[in-house]
Structure 1
Amino acid sequence: MFNIPLLIVILYIFALFGISFYASKRAKGTEGFLLAGRQMTTPLIAVLITGLAIGGASTIGVAEQAYNVGLAAGWYNVAWGAGAICMGILAAAKYRSMNITTVPEMFEKFYDVKGRVICVLSQITIQLVITSLQYLAGGAILASLLPSVFTLQSGIITSAIVFIGITFVGGMWSAGISNILNVVLIYLGIAAATIATLINQGGIAQIAVKLPQEVPYFHWVGGLGWIAIASWFAVMMTQTMSLQGTVQISLSAKDAKTARNGFVIGGLLMLPIGFLAALMGIAAKGMYPDMSATLALPQMIMSLPPVLAGITLAALWAADVSTAGSLLLGSATLFSQDIYKRFLRPGSDEKHLMWVTKFSVIALGALTFILALTVSGILKTIMIGLSLTTAFTIVFLFTVFAPGLARRNSAFYTNLVGIAVIVLWQFIPAVRVFPHVIYLEWIACLVTFLLVPIFDRQPIRLGNKEDSLISQVAK
């Protein structure tokens, strides 16, 4: 029998590369490749941040968690949306007004070189780990839904080739334009699959009868509780304001207003998808109550009509494509701008730097592929890694809104403490006095930033140019 789902995935891959080659014609020069020439419109910013947010954790991860805890799992995407809206209101326009390329560049502009170094090392580590998790999720999707075609390893390899290839060819323009397709496909596929599954099972009432009564599957909060959900909000509202992948999207906007509006609209777009994915997970529990969530969800999807199953498969995989591309580009930007150009070869011309950036996409993509073969625990790993962005967010907020409290060493020591908290949390259980590491990160980093002025009297760099910049972005 002809494999219709596989055909749909192949057509989707060809469409992605076609878009990337088209986008490459617009990606002229390093700034064109990394930041789309700072010409992204509001709709493109909106689909970029939506695509970055809706990855494997936001679709497959949410559905698998909902298999065990119910509708409450959908709050993960609402937390992401709240983070994007928060970024749009507080930070996106201000980042765009700074006219920088990376978050570490901002650290050196206002603080010092060691602040930039510790920031870039932390940022690139976070992004590489999360990118590798997207490869893992992509491979798992292909292997679970097309087991006769893909193993987990071949699925990861296929995912890596596509993720790296489209990023290498078109850069930020490729990410922006392809995410129009990705976001439409994600919503169409997941919504259609959810509706079809609910109808096939006789509606929510019939599904509810088959579910274990001890778990409040259709309660908005009960399956997890507000403490766990609040942790998601804390992490997402922190990381969206300082992770290079999200900041780079705001830097690609044609102006500050576009950056702000794009993030707010993107955040609103994210809100419903988590609950749709959660309903898929609940339906899988009703249909296959004795299976593991990992096996039940693919089984349910592939029981749908072939065309719908193929669209859903492509939609779930598209979620990983959209996330991995933006993160991989962000990592390449960090290497080329904050390591190579700043320290290894400061006098690089535009053409040379462009090739270094493209080579970085391949090299870092290969590294993340290797990581993907070794990491596990997707959602938990992402949430812990993103907590490290607390230090970046605190430094940014003080730089913009309260520069008088900032000192030259504030960025370095705040980041150093942020790293120490993560390490201690992982290896010394006694420090886990809060329900999530994000709360300890905020307390420790905030206290550190406010204590630095006790021993450091040197203010941050505020020459004439920077002075006017601070005045501009703080308005």
Structure 2
Amino acid sequence: MNIIDVLIMVGYFAVLIGVGVIGSRRAKTAEDYILAGRNLGFFMYFGCLTAVILGGASTIGSAQLGYEYGLSGMWLVFMLGFGIMLLGLFLIKRITNFKVMTISEFLGKRFNTQTQLISALVASIYAMMVTVTQVIGMGTILNVLIGWNLTTSMLVGGGIVLFYTILGGMWSVTMTDIVQFLVMTIGIFCFMLPMSVSSAGGWSQLSLQLPDTYFSLSGIGSSQIFHYFLLFGLGMVVAQDIWQRIFTAKTIKIARTGTIFAGIYSLLYGLAISVIGMCAFIVLPNLQDTQNAFASMASETLPAGILGFVLAGVISALMSTASGTLLASSTLITNDILKTYFFKNIKEKQFLILSRVVTSIIGIATIVFALWIQNVLVALDVAYAVLSGAVFVPVILGFFWKRATAKAAFYSIIVSTITILTGLAIEGISSTNPILYGIATSVVVMVFVSLIGQYQKQSVPGYHGNISSGADRSDS
């Protein structure tokens, strides 16, 4: 990289740290730290939600898939956007009515504290693994373009995210996300995409030089598309980092409209990154590590100054998702485990300190895992496989099936998680079957245990039923 690009990157990092410090001054309560005071308007909500959706896998992973398969590489991000739109269209009102901070807190209100505990453990692991993918992505980009070794690159990128997230929580994350969303949008759509197409000789040359399968939306294979639906389409519906952003909206209308627009933006982003990957296949036909397709393409085609800006945009996508999922993981552990079981009478100021301490510990653990795994798509597959297979069914049935019981939800999460992890260990990380096994197991356990529980209660003299859903349900 040219010295100008390096200076742009250093300046950008400095801006993020400065914005994080400013955000820390607004985080005076636990609700400020975790949910930005539930006070975001449309633009801030749309920008920060979009920023948390589109991260390392969306950018580096989609470029890699575009390089290997063509346009059908967009399905990964397409399913992220599809899941977000499903959430906005069908669940926003139900979610906001419960007035909770986490998805596990909803399950606790709908079922019981045991279900809240086990779902918090599963969801926090998911969020942490997504953070791991972003740290790996930052390391990959900085390694290729600046020339730092991979370990140093991960430590720098992950350390900056950890710093501003610890300081201001959701306020810092929101303020930095707006900066990151703008830089990401301009960098990808105004610079990287048109310059990549131009360097490949234009769309006509793409049509002539690429195999026909690269222009087929099914080129990646129907089984892989279904795999992405199970992982990301369903996973987005029950992702804590997404729910947590929804709770930051000032009104239900802002939450619904912003969520749908974020889904549409995600579709366009996925298409753009896949095309960049296709261009890289022509410009860099002998690329040894296709995970470096985006970074290598940027280095090959962009002039000094613009390269630094585009790099800042890509790092923006990674950092915004990393900070959101890091905060999501720490919120689940702090609010649904530590506060519920160990610090029941904790004061507001103490809870804020506890949140920062937990965020620090998880952030350090995340960087360690990133250094160990070092593969974006592998880490992402593990995260979403467990989330989609183990948590999706209890949440959806909790919303729409009044006869679902607490015991059923609790055992459903445990049994399906074991099923998924066992399946992944036997059949491999990329296999779709373990997710299907997990979802099937979850449905069977939920239905069977719920119906058995209802039958047993109805056989008890004097039993007249109980309230099984609604935001005002008391824990029993």
TM-score, normalised via structure 2 length: 0.91
Quote how far apart the aligned CAs of 1:332 are. Answer: 1.2
Partner of 1:277: 273
Tell me how far apart the structure 2 counterparts of residues 338 and 363 of structure 1 sit (CA, whole Å). Answer: 17
In the alignment, is residue 448 of structure 1 matched against residue 450 of structure 2? no
In the alignment, is residue 259 of structure 1 matched against residue 275 of structure 2? no
Tell me how far apart the structure 2 counterparts of residues 431 and 63 of structure 1 sit (CA, whole Å). Answer: 20
Quote how far apart the aligned CAs of 1:208 are. Answer: 4.1
Tell me how far apart the structure 1 counterparts of residues 338 and 251 of structure 2 sit (CA, whole Å). Answer: 28
Q: Are the equivalent residues in 1 in contact too, given 2:420–2:435 (CA < 8 A)? A: no
Q: Are the equivalent residues in 2 in contact too, given 1:79–1:236 (CA < 8 A)? A: yes
Alignment of 1:55-66 (within 5 A): 55-66=55-66
Alignment of 1:79-228 (within 5 A): 79-147=79-147, 150-191=148-189, 192-211=191-210, 213=211, 216-222=213-219, 224-228=220-224
Q: Are the equivalent residues in 1 in contact too, given 2:5–2:307 (CA < 8 A)? A: yes
Quote how far apart the aligned CAs of 1:368 are. Answer: 0.6
Partner of 1:353: 351
Tell me how far apart the structure 1 counterparts of residues 253 and 321 of structure 2 sit (CA, whole Å). Answer: 24
Q: Are the equivalent residues in 2 in contact too, given 1:384–1:437 (CA < 8 A)? A: no
Q: Are the equivalent residues in 1 in contact too, given 2:386–2:421 (CA < 8 A)? A: no
The structure-2 alpha-carbon separation of the partners of 1:276 and 1:430, relative to structure 1 and needing over 3 Å to count, comes to closer
- Aligned-residue RMSD, C-alpha: 2.4
Partner of 2:461: none
Alignment of 1:382-401 (within 5 A): 382-390=380-388, 391-401=390-400
Runs of 4+ in 1 over 4 A off after TM superposition: 461-464
The structure-2 alpha-carbon separation of the partners of 1:157 and 1:272, relative to structure 1 and needing over 3 Å to count, comes to same
> Which amino acid letter does the alignment assign opposite residue 250 of structure 1?
I
Tell me how far apart the structure 2 counterparts of residues 201 and 121 of structure 1 sit (CA, whole Å). Answer: 47
Among all aligned residue pairs of Structure 1 and Structure 2, give the percentage whose two residues are the same amino acid: 25
Partner of 1:439: 436
Q: Are the equivalent residues in 2 in contact too, given 1:44–1:262 (CA < 8 A)? A: no
Q: Are the equivalent residues in 2 in contact too, given 1:208–1:286 (CA < 8 A)? A: no
Tell me how far apart the structure 1 counterparts of residues 286 and 316 of structure 2 sit (CA, whole Å). Answer: 29
Quote how far apart the aligned CAs of 1:234 are. Answer: 2.8
**Count of residue pairs brought into register by the alignment:** 462
In structure 1, runs of 5+ residues without a counterpart are none
Q: Are the equivalent residues in 1 in contact too, given 2:64–2:292 (CA < 8 A)? A: no
Q: Are the equivalent residues in 2 in contact too, given 1:111–1:410 (CA < 8 A)? A: no
Partner of 2:305: 307
Q: Secondary structure at the match of 2:320?
A: helix
In the alignment, is residue 342 of structure 1 matched against residue 340 of structure 2? yes
In the alignment, is residue 231 of structure 1 matched against residue 227 of structure 2? yes
Q: Are the equivalent residues in 2 in contact too, given 1:94–1:256 (CA < 8 A)? A: no
Partner of 2:366: 368
The structure-2 alpha-carbon separation of the partners of 1:255 and 1:295, relative to structure 1 and needing over 3 Å to count, comes to closer
Q: Are the equivalent residues in 1 in contact too, given 2:173–2:324 (CA < 8 A)? A: yes
Quote how far apart the aligned CAs of 1:462 are. Answer: 8.8
Write out per-residue CA displacement over residues 110-157 of structure 1, whole angstroms, 9 at most, x where no aligned residue. 22222122111111111112212211111111011111xx11011001
Quote how far apart the aligned CAs of 1:468 are. Answer: 5.5
Partner of 2:319: 321
349-358 vs 289-298, greater mean Cα deviation: 289-298
Q: Are the equivalent residues in 2 in contact too, given 1:424–1:431 (CA < 8 A)? A: no
> Which amino acid letter does the alignment assign opposite residue 446 of structure 1?
V
Quote how far apart the aligned CAs of 1:430 are. Answer: 11
Tell me how far apart the structure 2 counterparts of residues 92 and 47 of structure 1 sit (CA, whole Å). Answer: 18
> Which amino acid letter does the alignment assign opposite residue 260 of structure 2?
V
Write out per-residue CA displacement over residues 448-475 of structure 1, whole angstroms, 9 at most, x where no aligned residue. 111112432359x9978x865379xxxx
Tell me how far apart the structure 2 counterparts of residues 231 and 444 of structure 1 sit (CA, whole Å). Answer: 17
Tell me how far apart the structure 2 counterparts of residues 91 and 195 of structure 1 sit (CA, whole Å). Answer: 37
The structure-2 alpha-carbon separation of the partners of 1:151 and 1:103, relative to structure 1 and needing over 3 Å to count, comes to same
The structure-2 alpha-carbon separation of the partners of 1:462 and 1:351, relative to structure 1 and needing over 3 Å to count, comes to farther
Q: Secondary structure at the match of 2:250?
A: coil
Partner of 2:78: 78
Partner of 2:417: 419
Match of 1:429 among 427, 433, 437: 427
TM-score, normalised via structure 1 length: 0.91
Q: Secondary structure at the match of 1:175?
A: helix
The structure-2 alpha-carbon separation of the partners of 1:73 and 1:181, relative to structure 1 and needing over 3 Å to count, comes to same
Tell me how far apart the structure 1 counterparts of residues 267 and 180 of structure 2 sit (CA, whole Å). Answer: 16
Q: Are the equivalent residues in 2 in contact too, given 1:20–1:166 (CA < 8 A)? A: yes
Write out per-residue CA displacement over residues 304-339 of structure 1, whole angstroms, 9 at most, x where no aligned residue. 211221111111111110100000111111121112
